[in-house]
């Protein structure tokens, strides 16, 4: 469905879903007190007045609050999906209809539509790009060099996007500042760990309704997302095996109490496999061949490349949709493998993504990163900046305040001690 002349341009599933979307956006707002305070300040101060901004994010109830904050700040903001399968169509409808924000996102859009939306976003001639996975920034660098002079900076939400930005920097093609939102403490400690931990299992459970207690769960990757998934699955009674390529992370997993082994060994043991590595083909034909009949595989990493579904498809005699977001691959060997969410982020494909309470801090970082870029326009170099510590700490302080939790502060004596090297044994 596209826009009429008087409405902002958009491409969404169905504008009639707006009422349900608005209700859900308002519900999410109850858990987002930090972003709400920023929204209110932005409405008064308009720090992004005159800025053309593109946000390429998962279009969820939480992203709606970020988009509203940006609009309140005076930005001419446009929103596109950062994944073909993560859009909440009712939220997209409400953002267009109730909040006047142009959205280009439809759950289940094909890859061509996804890339067309990325190009529509760039046609908006952004000064700031909020990216989740770096697709808009990479397309700008590859195909729209002439627009780079318009760019004040980009802000990146996720580990995968940061890895891509680092590769751009190494190749000398990142010629504008980028803010690393992912590595803010108030982002990855909470969003990647508790957000992915809970929402990934939520996606698995909504898709399959399986009991996790007593199941053997193989988690591929022990970064912050993998740690969260392993911790929460263990809490639900699953027997967790971790696979890793990094020796330090592998030791950490061992000391956290998990079994660690190569995927080649884990393949025959797992009932459920969750990939969160950020790399491609972590589960390959030789692993599928070793799996139990009925093994379930899914991914919670940013891109749908972690499970080699093309090879699995070549081994299949039939692929059946057995429940929403649940496909059964019937293999020539007589065995079946179950794939959730087409190998895309299962937490957003089959559930609602991270809970609002963690996105509150992630998107507070995004909103303040945009303000920081504008305040420091012309003074930043073409490199990747971490979120300033003051911003990170302020978000943590506001979150604690909203939770009604007080903490200690240093006494004058302690401040003197901590700043001095003279006192010892």
- Rule CB under 6 A: is residue 67 a binding residue for ligand ADE? no
Q: Which of 402, 371, 409, 399 is nearest to 190 (CA)?
A: 399
Q: Which CB, 161 or 195, lies closer to ligand ADE?
A: 195
User: Which one of residues 24, 227, 354, 399 is an interface residue with ligand ADE (CB under 6 A)?
Assistant: 354
Question: What residues form DSSP beta bridges with 77?
Answer: 53
- Rule CB under 6 A: is residue 84 a binding residue for ligand ADE? no
CA angle 171, 172, 177 (to 5 degrees): 120
User: Which one of residues 11, 31, 62, 109 is an interface residue with ligand ADE (CB under 6 A)?
Assistant: 62
User: Which one of residues 161, 197, 341, 353 is an interface residue with ligand ADE (CB under 6 A)?
Assistant: 353
Of the ranges 70-78, 121-129, 163-171, 352-360, which one interacts with ligand ADE (CB under 6 A)? 352-360
Interacting residues with ligand ADE between 183 and 212 (CB under 6 A): 195
Q: Which CB, 63 or 186, lies closer to ligand ADE?
A: 63
Furthest CA-CA distance within the chain? 76
Q: Which CB, 225 or 230, lies closer to ligand ADE?
A: 225
Q: Distance between CA 4 and CA 92 in Å, rounded?
A: 16
Minimum Å gap between C-beta 219 and ligand ADE is 17
Q: How many CB atoms lie within 10 A of CB 251?
A: 13
CA angle 236, 355, 309 (to 5 degrees): 70
Q: Distance between CA 337 and CA 339 in Å, rounded?
A: 7
Tell me which residue has its CB nearest to ligand ADE: 353
Q: Which of 323, 307, 328 is nearest to 203 (CA)?
A: 323
- Rule CB under 6 A: is residue 301 a binding residue for ligand ADE? no
- Rule CB under 6 A: is residue 57 a binding residue for ligand ADE? yes
Q: Which CB, 179 or 359, lies closer to ligand ADE?
A: 359
Please give the size of the binding site for ligand ADE, defined by CB under 6 A. 10
User: Which one of residues 77, 168, 297, 359 is an interface residue with ligand ADE (CB under 6 A)?
Assistant: 359
Q: How many CB atoms lie within 10 A of CB 214?
A: 10
Minimum Å gap between C-beta 5 and ligand ADE is 31
Q: Distance between CA 420 and CA 332 in Å, rounded?
A: 70
Minimum Å gap between C-beta 70 and ligand ADE is 14
Tokens of 253: 């997993």
Of the ranges 213-221, 312-320, 351-359, 379-387, which one interacts with ligand ADE (CB under 6 A)? 351-359
Minimum Å gap between C-beta 320 and ligand ADE is 28
Dihedral pair phi/psi, residue 102, rounded to 5°: -70, 130
User: Which one of residues 15, 25, 63, 395 is an interface residue with ligand ADE (CB under 6 A)?
Assistant: 63
User: Which one of residues 60, 97, 180, 366 is an interface residue with ligand ADE (CB under 6 A)?
Assistant: 60
Beta strands 239-243 and 216-220, pairing class: parallel
Q: How many CB atoms lie within 10 A of CB 330?
A: 15
Question: What residues form DSSP beta bridges with 131?
Answer: 56, 156
Q: Distance between CA 108 and CA 343 in Å, rounded?
A: 13
Helix (H, G, I), strand (E, B) or coil at 40: helix
Under the rule (CB under 6 A), what is the footprint of ligand ADE? 57-58, 60, 62-63, 195, 348, 353-354, 359
């Amino acid at each position: 469905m596209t826009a009429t002349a008087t409405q902002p341009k958009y491409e969404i599933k169905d504008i009639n879903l707006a009422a349900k979307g608005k209700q859900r956006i308002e519900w999410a707002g109850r858990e987002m007190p930090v972003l709400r305070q920023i929204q209110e300040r932005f409405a008064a101060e308009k720090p992004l007045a005159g800025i053309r901004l593109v946000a390429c994010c998962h279009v969820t109830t939480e992203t709606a609050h970020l988009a509203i904050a940006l609009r309140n700040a005076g930005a001419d903001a446009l929103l596109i999906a950062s994944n073909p399968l993560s859009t909440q169509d009712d939220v997209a409808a409400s953002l267009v209809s109730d909040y006047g924000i142009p959205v280009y996102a439809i759950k289940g859009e094909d890859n061509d539509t996804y890339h067309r939306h990325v190009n529509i976003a760039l046609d908006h001639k952004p000064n700031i790009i909020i990216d989740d996975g770096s697709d808009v920034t990479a397309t700008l660098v590859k195909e729209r060099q002439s627009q780079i002079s318009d760019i004040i900076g980009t802000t990146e939400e996720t580990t995968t996007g940061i890895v891509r930005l680092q590769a751009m920097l190494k190749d000398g093609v990142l010629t504008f500042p980028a803010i690393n939102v992912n590595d803010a403490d108030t982002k990855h400690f909470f969003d990647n760990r508790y957000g992915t931990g809970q929402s990934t299992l939520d996606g698995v459970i909504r898709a399959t309704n399986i009991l996790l207690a007593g199941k053997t769960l193989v988690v591929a990757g022990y970064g912050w997302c993998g740690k969260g998934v392993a911790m929460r699955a263990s809490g639900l009674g699953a027997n967790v095996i971790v696979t890793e390529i990094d020796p330090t992370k592998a030791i950490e997993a061992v000391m956290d109490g998990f079994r660690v082994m190569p995927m080649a060994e884990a393949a025959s043991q797992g009932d459920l496999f969750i990939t969160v590595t950020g790399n491609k083909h972590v589960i390959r034909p030789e692993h599928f061949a070793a799996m139990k009949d009925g093994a379930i595989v899914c991914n919670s990493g940013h891109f749908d490349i972690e499970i080699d579904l093309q090879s699995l498809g070549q081994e299949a005699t039939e692929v059946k949709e057995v429940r929403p977001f649940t496909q059964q691959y019937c293999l020539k060997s007589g065995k079946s493998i179950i794939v959730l969410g087409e190998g895309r982020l299962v937490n957003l494909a089959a559930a609602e993504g991270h809970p609002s309470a963690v996105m509150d801090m992630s998107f507070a970082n995004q909103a303040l990163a945009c303000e920081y870029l504008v305040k420091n326009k012309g003074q930043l170099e073409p490199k990747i900046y971490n979120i300033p510590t003051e911003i990170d700490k302020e978000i943590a302080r506001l979150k604690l305040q909203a939770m009604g939790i007080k903490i200690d502060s240093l006494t004058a004596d302690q401040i003197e001690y901590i700043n001095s090297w003279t006192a010892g044994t």
